Each structure stands twice: as structure tokens, then as C-alpha cells.
Structure 1
Amino acid sequence: MGTTPTEVLAFPNIKAIVRDNGTAEVVVAGNSRVVPDGDSLQDLRNNALALVVGEAQTLKRPVRVQIEDPEGHGELIVHPDNKIESVTYESRPARRRTQAPATTPETVAPAVIETVPVAAPEPKATPSQTATVEATAAAVERQPWPPTRVEPEASTDVPATSEVTGSSGQRITDAEVPPATAAATEVPATRRSLKESSFLVSAPVLEPATKGWRGSLTRLGFRMDPSPEELAEREDIRTVSQHWPGPRTIAVVNRKGGANKTPTVVMLSAILARYSGAATVAWDNNESQGTLGWRTEKGAHNRSVLDLIDSSTELLSPTTNAAEIAKFVHHQTADKFDVLRSDENEEGDHEVTAEEVDIAHQVLTRYYRLVVMDSGNTARAANWRRMIDHTNQLVVPVTAIEDRAEAARLTLQTLESRGGHDAELARNAVVIVSESTDAKRSMTGDALKRAKAEAQRIADGFEPFVRAVVRIPYDPALVNGPIRYEALQPATQRAWLAAAAAVAKGF
């Protein structure tokens, strides 16, 4: 049986504190003990709990511990045998919201039930009552954390007799109802069709928590349900992991340079390729020379989109196998997508035409499920407009700088004014607002607050006009050099996952 909170001494006062800066400590009776470093906040939680278990083993009795970390705070009871019991827990809200009542399931402590002896012998319980008592005991024994309130069930007792009123107003008891009348009230039994039943379980089993304190407790054998934040992440992963019938084309556009177009192409390609396993290609559709090839891994050749167009007849032949496309694209070994570079000849005298966009798109959609297109800065260029004709989902990246945001607005306005397919893409666009890349890691205090406030202001300005707006935090790994998903900070990876999920919902 579990230990009630009142049975566990409050001495010594123990606190386990995990901070989002990668440090943690366990404070026992005012004495701080440094928690061994870990590779993640999850490792710090596990190491902190290990110290508390050691304290319980030293005292040879259960101890109370106050837990606090960026995800939430509460109180646990830790036993010397590694058993963990939850007393209270309250998650920290992700954003401002109305305060929950004090009696929400997250903050209510388990009720203590006292047994009061009675003088008179109790009547013998029926089998159904016994089963109910046993089920209740099992439920208390396996009470989840955070504890949930158990609402009393409505009474199903039926009086031994009931009265009805006849047509003459005379009251008649059940015993006086004629047999024919009683038989008429019975519903005849019907045989159901086998087509209407199934032995399959329709609802999937919820996997236990893997992150936060809940994940730590799960690994210690105390199975916990995932937090709302972890459930949201699982849903985003499920969304980007889908396979769609037929190829899909994403166009990343903003008529202003330096708006984060190329990093957006790389990150969306990496996440969609990693999670869905679908063949994905990032295509630099700049009318002359783009920078996608500079920010990604180069293969063992120098071929570009012009070489692919010149070999299109061979690549579209029914006798050509899928591996031949590797002659023209540059594979990203870590992020699992390919890159089709723009022309990089020294003269730079060739501009991609609308017909060449058609040919390249026809080739790529034969070999790939997902095509993510980078673009130039000229919405009037022939290749830019033909790219829009092939697009299924429009993405508009913008850094939190006024002129970039204004250029993004004008890009959407141009498409909307053209009507038809272009206007539909603008209305269902996904805008990705990144904190200014001009920010430095040394920025602190008011400067950081202003940068975040500006990003939020721009995001709020786009929200009424498009399908989704996603904010991305500043990350130095996106500023210069080749872009790699694994090089990003965890918060940045999570934000890009949300952005990719918003894009995938448009498929």
C-alpha cells in the first residue's frame, strides 16, 4: 500500500531544483549538493532523483522532496527502494492564461480516508459490492501522478416498489400491475449483426512520458502520462511523418534578400526527410545564382539544375533507374535530403526560363515525393511565376526586421492580387518569423526583450491574413556556414518541428 503524506516526516527539508541553464542542485536541510552534469535537462532530473534516493537510503525511511524545474513544481515522496509517490504537481503554463481554480486535478493532494470502527456487525457484502471495493482499492494503489479527482458516481438504487397513477386517478403499486401490462413494457431481445461488432481496440494505447520529471519517474518504474507539451510534440511528429498520395511542392518566397529563405528551405527539408522518410529534394530556383549550395553539403561533382535539364530526356526515360538522379543532386548525409544547386558558372549569363522550370519539376517529381524550392528576389521573373504554378504550399520566411517584414507583406499582396491559384496560396500561407540574425549571443536584458517583442509584433501582424504563423528563436548555428539540424539548440529544433508541422497540414 502507498504511504500517506502525513506518515512521512517533513525533516529534513529536501529540495530538488533543475534550471534551464543546465545546472541543478539538491538542498538537504539547507546544505546544497551539486547534481552531476548531464547532456540534457532530463539527465539532470535523473541525477537529482538519484541523490534523493541516496538520502532516503541513509535515513532508512521515506523522505519528502520539493521538485522545481522549468516544466513545473510539486512534491514527491521518495522511498529507499526507489519507489516514488506523488503528492502534488503543477505544470507551468506555456503562455498567459486565466488562473485555474484551486481544486484542479493538478494541485489537489490525495485524500486521506480514515477507518472508523462500528459496534454493530456490517451486513455481508454482495459479490458486486465486493468487486467494487476491490476495484477501488486497486485504483487507489495505482493512483496516477499528478493525482486526479474521483467524482462520486450517481446512485443507481431503485426503490423496492414504485407507484403509477391509473386512468381513474387511483394509485397502483408494481404488485398490482396486470401480467399482460408488465409483459408489454419489456423490450424484446434482438440479435445483433456480426457486421456491427468488432474485437479490435479502436483507441490507441497512450505511451508513457519520456520527458521532464514525468519521464524520470517513468524510467524509475512509476508510469506517468505525458505532459501537454510532450503530447503536442508527438502530434507534430505524427503530422510531419505522414506520406501523401502524389508529390508535393513547397515554395519558400520573400522578395527581400536576407529574409532567411535559404535556412528555411534547409530546415524544412531536413525535418520532413528525417521524420517522414520520404525522398526529399531542396531545389535552388534562383533565376541566376543562389546560395543554397553554399549553405549545404557538396557532393563529388559540380552539376547543377542546368545539367539536369540537359539530361531530362534520359532521366524521364522508362528504362532509367532511380539511382541515376544522384549524378545531378548533392546528398546531405546527416539530414537525409538532396540538394539541386543553381547554375554556378563563372560567366553567370544564363537565366532559368519558365519552360526550364517545367522540365526540372517534371524530372524531380518523378524521383521525389517532396520538392522544397528556394527562390530569388524577383516576383516578376518567369521562373519565379512558373514556380508558383507548381506550388502546393507557400512558405514566407521573415526575420524580425521592418523592411524584411514589409517585403513579405508585399509578396503576399502581389500573389493575392493575381487571384485564382496564387491568391489561394497567399491565404493558406505559413509565415515563419525568426528573431533577428543581427542579434548576438552576448545580448542580455533589455536588448533581448526588445528583439523578442519585435518578433512577436511582426508575427501578430501577419496572423489575420495567413493560415499559420510560427516563431523561431535566434540560433547562431543558422547564421553562417553549412546548416545542420543537429547543430541547433533543442528549443530551436522544437520550433522548426512546429513550423514543419504547420506546413505539412497544408498538404
Structure 2
Amino acid sequence: MGTTPTEVMAFPKISAIVRDNGTAEVVVAGNSRIVPAGESLQDLRNNALALVVGEARTLQRPVRVQIEDPEGHGELIVHPDNKIESVSYEPRPARRRAEAPETTPETVAPTVIDTVPVRAPEPVATPSEPTAVPALASTVDRQPWPPSPVASEPQTVAVAEDAPPTRRSLKESSFLVSAPVLEPATQGWRGTLTRLGFRMDPSAEELSEREDIRTVSQHWPGPRTIAVVNRKGGANKTPTVVMLSAILARYSGAATVAWDNNESQGTLGWRTEKGAHDRSVLDLIDSSQSLLSPSTNAAEIAKFVHHQTGDKFDVLRSDENEEGDHEVTAEEVDIAHQVLTRYYRLVVMDSGNTARAANWRRMIDHTNQLVVPVTAIEDRAEAARLTLQTLESRGGHDAELARNAVVIVSESTDAKRSMTGDALKRAKDEAQRIADGFEPFVRAVVRIPYDPALVNGPIRYEALQPATQRAWLAAAAAVADGF
């Protein structure tokens, strides 16, 4: 199955230029690379494609390349495994042309060439052989550059010498054809060389991080609600809520609130900053009529939420009444959700451990993306599986959420500081085993390394180790992909 051009990133911008004077070059993000000489035009094409395949292997993904030679120009998709796809190819017009042939789908649709190896040049054909455009490899009938062979027998056609030229519509053309300029590397030794004045392309790892940042930085039409669920306590629900809220708020700039929708007293308020008041979700529900009034300004919501000064999101705490004599009903979840989606674009909901509770089930009704956190301990993983199974058995919206869920597996924190050698390896292996077990049943699984900054006390994004920050960025990007 072919790769559609829109699935392949447009950077770095790559061009392969073959000239009729026997020279060629491949230009990658503005850096020119001379193509080794060959005995024929096709030799130069093969050598140019060999350089592009090398670039694809370096990036570990397909790349797009604009091709130009004396016979025409077009675009290819080149894969690291030598597979070449022809997206388009337009021959150069002759000075006097016959009636143009009909356009076939092959001239515009991607044509997949299965396993086209870039090899050493083939011997030049002798005059006794049929004249045809040389193939990239002798094992295939068609090759992507150019995509269609020239007929081997001459054809007699009438030349319309006096026919008026056909003008193209201005709607069919544009001067905006440049690909986005790839920013130079900022990380690792490539970034160091860039800062010293040697412009370097970013590594595959840096490109992957940039893509995750782009994903979480998007804005979506209408509010989005994320539910973080696992029926077992100690499964890392609250740290997951905090980290997803922090990353989405930091990168997207969208108004984000973390809501502790626990049927009992939740811990989200304990792991985050407290504002200058003690209000909770019950106070917000009691004031919902005024908060939903058209005359109320956006700043009024600050009376009920607790702002996180470093991580730029707000927290709506659960009821902290010591008597615990109030259970949030489904109708109250509706009211609170209506208020929050008026003031915020992203709502990240923490949850309790009872999937049968009215507030838990109504939370699911409002959810756009389900997240299931789990620590790498068997009972936590089993509880996560049962949570997904419960939702799947209910069918409809609940089952769709389960199928498209994101599972976040965090390495166990139990006695982590005292672990050494084989114990640490076993902990990592267990996390991988659990991640692999969930993979066939959900949309995405992301692993998070152990980090002491997530174990106790208030959680701050800046307090995390760089590897942990990168892992949570990948988790947030997987969540945002579901929007």
C-alpha cells in the first residue's frame, strides 16, 4: 500500500537536480551534495537517489524529494528500505508538439515501486537494442524517475503548427511553492556546531520532539475533555492529570483546568498549588447560575479554581468537607462541566476508583479522550485492564473510548532508590511487558521512566529530569492525537 504525500513531512526540503552537461547535485535543507558522475542520464539519477535513500535512512522515515532533469520534473517519496514512490512527473514540452496525450491516473497518483534497490549503473544500451527510458533497476517494468517509459517505436502524428497556444487558468497556478524552512539543530553536538556558526540539520530525535511539540500546540474547535481513569488506587492517576495539564497548557497556550472528580476526597489539591481561598467544586456548582450568566466576565472563575503559577493551568478541587456527607451527582457533573467548558478549552478530569459511581459514569459521557495510567505492578495493570473491559462491554461511546484510549505505563516507584543492577533491569522489563500487553487493545501506549519528583509533594514540570519531561511530552502528544 502506497504512502500518501500528505503523510510524509515536507522537511527537510530535498531536491535532486540532474543536468544535461553530465553533472548532478542533491540539495538537503539548503546544503548541496555533489552526485558522483555516471556514463548516462540514468546513472546520474541512480546516484542521486542513492544519496536521498541515505538521508531517509538517517532520518529513519520516508522523505519527499523534488526531481528535475533534462527530460522533466516532478516529485518522489523515498523510503529508508529503498522503496520509491512516484507522486508526479511532468515531461518537458517539445518546441513543436502534437496533441497532448490523455492524462492517466498514473501521472498524478502515487505509484509504489516495491523494493527498488539503488544500484550501480547498468551498461549503456547498444544501438541494436530498443530505445527506451533506462529503468532504475532491471527487475521492474516501471521506475519512478521518470515514471513512464518512452515508446520504443516511432509514431506518425500530425503536427498542429498553427494551433493557438492553450492558456492555463490563473486559478490553477500559484507562486507559493516553497516548502517550510527547516530550522537548524538546537540539541546535542549538532546544536553545538550550529551555535559555533556551522549550520547543522537536526537529528531524527530532535525532529521527533519538534513533531510532538507541534501536536500538543494545536488548537481545536470547541472544548475537549480528557478523563484519566483506573479503578485501582495508587495507579498514578493524579500525577498523570497534573503532567498532561501542565504540558498542554504550556505548549498550546489554551486555557486548561484540572478537575478532581473524585466521589470521595481526592488528592489533586494535595499535589498542586493552593490559591488564596478554599473553594471547591461544590462552591462552583452553587454559583453556576451567575457563572453562566452572559454578563459575567471570564475573570470571575478565578474565585473557584487554584492557579498553578509555573505550569499555567488551573485546578478545581474536590469537596474537602471533613464530614464527607455529600456525593456529587450526575446532574452536578453536568453543571460543573457546562461551567468549565465556558471558561476553558481543555478539561482534564481526575477520577475515583468506582466505575459504578454516578459522577464517574457521567464523566465518561462528557469525555473526548480516555487516558488509563498504570504503574508497572501486576494488580494496577489488571485494574486498568478491567476498567477498559468494563467500558468496552457497555458499547457505544464508552466502547469507542476504550478502543481509542492512551495507556501510560510508569515504572514502579516501590523501593526504587535502593534498586541496583538486576533489580532495576527487572523493573524496566516488567514495565515493558505490561506496555506490550496493552498495545493490541488501545490506540497508543507510552512508557514513563521513574522520577523521584513525581513521588511525593507538589508536582512541578520543571522539577522533572529531562528524560521524564520528554516522555511526558510524548504522552501528551499521543493524547492530543485523539482530539
Q: Identify whether the pair has TM-score above 0.5, normalized to the shorter chain.
A: yes
In structure 2, distance between residues paired with 1:505 and 1:137: 39
Offset at residue 311 of structure 1 (A): 0.3
Deviations 1:435-489 (A, max 9, x none): 0021423422101100000000000000000000000000000000000000000
In structure 1, distance between residues paired with 2:231 and 2:6: 66
Offset at residue 205 of structure 1 (A): 0.8
Which is worse superposed, 416-425 or 71-80? Answer: 71-80
Instruction: State whether residues 84 and 217 of structure 1, in contact with CA within 8 Å, keep that contact through their aligned partners in structure 2.
Output: no
Deviations 1:165-199 (A, max 9, x none): xxxxxxxxx99999996735999742111111111
Offset at residue 98 of structure 1 (A): 50
Deviations 1:322-362 (A, max 9, x none): 00000000000000000000011111111111010000000
In structure 1, distance between residues paired with 2:76 and 2:336: 61
Deviations 1:385-409 (A, max 9, x none): 0000000000000000000000000
Deviations 1:12-62 (A, max 9, x none): 999999999999999999999999999999999999999999999999999
In structure 1, the gaps of 5 or more residues are 148-173
In structure 2, distance between residues paired with 1:118 and 1:412: 47
Look at both structures and tell me which one has the larger radius of gyration over its CA atoms: 1
Instruction: State whether residues 29 and 181 of structure 2, in contact with CA within 8 Å, keep that contact through their aligned partners in structure 1.
Output: no
In structure 1, distance between residues paired with 2:121 and 2:27: 51
**1:222 alignment partner, one of 171, 193, 198:** 198
Number of residues paired by the alignment? Answer: 481
Instruction: State whether residues 91 and 106 of structure 1, in contact with CA within 8 Å, keep that contact through their aligned partners in structure 2.
Output: no
In structure 1, distance between residues paired with 2:25 and 2:282: 59
Instruction: State whether residues 16 and 25 of structure 2, in contact with CA within 8 Å, keep that contact through their aligned partners in structure 1.
Output: yes
RMSD of the alignment, in Å?
A: 16.5
In structure 1, distance between residues paired with 2:210 and 2:428: 26
SS of 1:180 mapped into structure 2: coil
Which is worse superposed, 419-428 or 41-50? Answer: 41-50
In structure 2, distance between residues paired with 1:431 and 1:303: 32
The share of aligned pairs that are identical, in percent, is 90
Which is worse superposed, 388-397 or 192-201? Answer: 192-201
In structure 2, distance between residues paired with 1:175 and 1:65: 26
In structure 2, distance between residues paired with 1:33 and 1:175: 33
Distance 1:369 1:463, change over 3 A: same
In structure 2, distance between residues paired with 1:290 and 1:495: 26
In structure 2, distance between residues paired with 1:309 and 1:372: 18
Which is worse superposed, 371-380 or 1-10? Answer: 1-10
Instruction: State whether residues 86 and 111 of structure 2, in contact with CA within 8 Å, keep that contact through their aligned partners in structure 1.
Output: no
In structure 2, distance between residues paired with 1:384 and 1:41: 67
SS of 1:225 mapped into structure 2: coil
Instruction: State whether residues 113 and 144 of structure 2, in contact with CA within 8 Å, keep that contact through their aligned partners in structure 1.
Output: no
Partner of 1:359: 335
Distance 1:70 1:321, change over 3 A: farther
Give the 5 Å matches for 1:33-432: 183-184=159-160, 189-432=165-408
Deviations 1:221-262 (A, max 9, x none): 111111110000000000000000000000000000000000
Distance 1:475 1:44, change over 3 A: farther
Offset at residue 112 of structure 1 (A): 35
In structure 2, distance between residues paired with 1:364 and 1:203: 40
Which is worse superposed, 336-345 or 178-187? Answer: 178-187
Distance 1:390 1:199, change over 3 A: same
Instruction: State whether residues 64 and 76 of structure 1, in contact with CA within 8 Å, keep that contact through their aligned partners in structure 2.
Output: yes
Instruction: State whether residues 145 and 224 of structure 1, in contact with CA within 8 Å, keep that contact through their aligned partners in structure 2.
Output: no
Deviations 1:38-97 (A, max 9, x none): 999999999999999999999999999999999999999999999999999999999999
SS of 1:470 mapped into structure 2: strand
Distance 1:446 1:128, change over 3 A: farther
Instruction: State whether residues 299 and 329 of structure 1, in contact with CA within 8 Å, keep that contact through their aligned partners in structure 2.
Output: yes
Instruction: State whether residues 46 and 216 of structure 1, in contact with CA within 8 Å, keep that contact through their aligned partners in structure 2.
Output: no
Instruction: State whether residues 11 and 179 of structure 2, in contact with CA within 8 Å, keep that contact through their aligned partners in structure 1.
Output: no
What is the TM-score of this pair, normalised by structure 2? 0.68
What is the TM-score of this pair, normalised by structure 1? 0.65
Deviations 1:292-325 (A, max 9, x none): 0000000000000000000000000000000000
SS of 1:257 mapped into structure 2: coil
In structure 1, distance between residues paired with 2:240 and 2:331: 26
Distance 1:190 1:414, change over 3 A: same
SS of 2:129 mapped into structure 1: helix
Instruction: State whether residues 259 and 317 of structure 2, in contact with CA within 8 Å, keep that contact through their aligned partners in structure 1.
Output: yes
